[in-house]
Amino acid sequence: MEAKKDIRACIRCGSNDLKWAPKSEEGIMAKDGMKFTGVAGGSASIAYKCENCGYVGYPIIFDSEKDRLKFVELKKKEKAK
């Protein structure tokens, strides 16, 4: 039986074009000027940066590409409102 592969995507736009972004002492600067420096209750050593929208942080994880695409469609509908 083949192991199931998690699909990581941007929590803001749903893109799966994510790059690993190691956190430095200064944090990671996103396109919108926000700085990712860690998580509540602890310090994060890694984050992901979305190459589509510039979001920096932890991704949302889906069980399938079909689920990710549903999420992308919902995000598009939200944006259109």
The model's pLDDT over 15-52, given as tens digits with 9 standing for 90+, comes to 999 998 765 544 555 555 555 555 544 445 568 899 99
Between 67 and 57, the higher pLDDT residue: 67
pLDDT at 24: 52
Is the residue at 68 inside a domain?
A: yes
Please state, in angstroms and rounded to a whole number, the distance separating the CA atoms of residues 38 and 2: 34
pLDDT at 42: 46
Is the residue at 42 inside a domain?
A: yes
pLDDT at 79: 84
Instruction: List the beta bridge partners of residue 7.
Output: 62
Which domain range does residue 36 map to? 7-75
Structural tokens at position 18: 């994510």
Is the residue at 80 inside a domain?
A: no
Is the residue at 52 inside a domain?
A: yes
Q: How many domains does the chain have?
A: 1
